[in-house]
Amino acid sequence: MSGRFSEIWVYLATSPLLGLTVTLVAYQAAFWLYSRLKLNPLANPVAISVALLVALLWATGTPYATYFEGAQFVHFLLGPATVALAVPLYANLERLKKTLVPIAGGLAAGSLAAVLSAIGIGWALGASRESLLSLAPKSVTTPIAMGIAEKLGGLPSLTAVLVVATGILGAVLARGTLNLLRIEDHAVRGFAVGVAAHGIGTARAFQVSETMGAFAGLAMGLNGLLTAFLFPLLVRLWGG
């Protein structure tokens, strides 16, 4: 019977349908668990889905490339989703104009802090140059970060993993950090989460409040833009 099963698995695993379907099923299972645990940040749905899928692929001996043939349809949507960020960015135009100075200052400081602290700490602890280049854009949303890493000699797939890990960490650590600093304003809390932890932080912020989510989304879009333009310059200074 188990021989039959593995025959069927081997056949299905070669078709993109399986990779796509298991991704959607794993995510919905993870999201169900996350809602059952009252949106506890430790039960992050991205982390749980990734763990489920890695376990499944490992147990069945399926290579990542085979899985990705199906999962790429989900991954592809990151491109149009990045373009779509223009819409909430525009919707927050009035708030953006009103709080222009704090937003510009927070963004510039946070964006630099994210890149420099990651490179500095990684370098001090002996990470390789390739890993450092892959690590540097970790606070930026995946499609932008992968694009940056690829253009500068990092490993885009490692960047993707580090970006996702950063997002999960940001979603988990934000509440404690901001409470410790006694930051109560939801606009500031949201913006800080968006700069540090991009889309995963933003998804988390939207679950707490609309204002927090809007500011997180704003921060994610602006930080993506700023890092995409600034980071190549920083690397040129550093490498040259």
Partner 1 sequence: MLGALTLLLVYQLAGEAIVQLTGLPVPGPVIGMLLLFLTLLARGGAPGKLRGTSQALLSHLSLLFVPAGVGVMLHFERLGEEWLALAVALVASTVITIGVTALVMRALQR
Q: Hey, which residues between 190 and 209 contact partner 1 (CB under 8 A)?
A: 191-193, 195-197, 199-200, 202-203, 206
Query: Using an 8 Å Cβ cutoff, are 222 and 107 in contact?
Result: yes
Using CB under 8 A, pick the residue from 17, 90, 238, 239 that binds partner 1.
90
Q: Is 217 in the site for partner 1 (CB under 8 A)?
A: yes
DSSP character for 41? G
**233/156 Cα distance (integer angstroms):** 19
Listed residue (78, 74, 80, 77) closest to 17, CA to CA: 74
Q: Is 218 in the site for partner 1 (CB under 8 A)?
A: no
Q: Which is nearer to partner 1, 3 or 226 (CB)?
A: 226
Using CB under 8 A, pick the residue from 173, 209, 211, 234 that binds partner 1.
173
What minimum distance in Å lies between the beta carbon of 1 and partner 1? 28
Exposure string over 44-70, b if 16+ CB within 10 A, otherwise e: bbbbbbbebbeeebeeeebeeebbebb
**192/212 Cα distance (integer angstroms):** 10
Q: Is 152 in the site for partner 1 (CB under 8 A)?
A: yes
- Three-state secondary structure call for residue 38: coil
**66/88 Cα distance (integer angstroms):** 35
Q: Which is nearer to partner 1, 12 or 151 (CB)?
A: 151
Q: Is 179 in the site for partner 1 (CB under 8 A)?
A: no
CA quadruple 149, 152, 154, 156: dihedral positive or negative?
A: positive
Using CB under 8 A, pick the residue from 1, 80, 237, 240 that binds partner 1.
80
| Residue 165 CB-half CA count within 13 A | 10
What minimum distance in Å lies between the beta carbon of 57 and partner 1? 7
Q: For the packed helices 156-180 and 142-152, what is the interaxial angle rounded to 10 degrees? A: 130
Q: Is 144 in the site for partner 1 (CB under 8 A)?
A: yes
What minimum distance in Å lies between the beta carbon of 10 and partner 1? 19
Query: Which range, of 9-17, 35-43, 170-178, touches partner 1 by CB under 8 A?
Result: 170-178
Query: Which range, of 1-9, 10-18, 35-43, 149-157, touches partner 1 by CB under 8 A?
Result: 149-157
Query: Which range, of 4-12, 35-43, 160-168, touches partner 1 by CB under 8 A?
Result: 160-168
Q: Which residue has the tokens 């409040």?
A: 209
Using CB under 8 A, pick the residue from 84, 129, 210, 239 that binds partner 1.
84
**142/164 Cα distance (integer angstroms):** 8
Using CB under 8 A, pick the residue from 133, 164, 205, 208 that binds partner 1.
164
CB atoms within 10 A of CB 166: 23
- Chain positions 100 to 129 lying near partner 1, rule: CB under 8 A, are 101-103, 105-107, 109-110, 113-114, 117-118, 121-122, 125-128
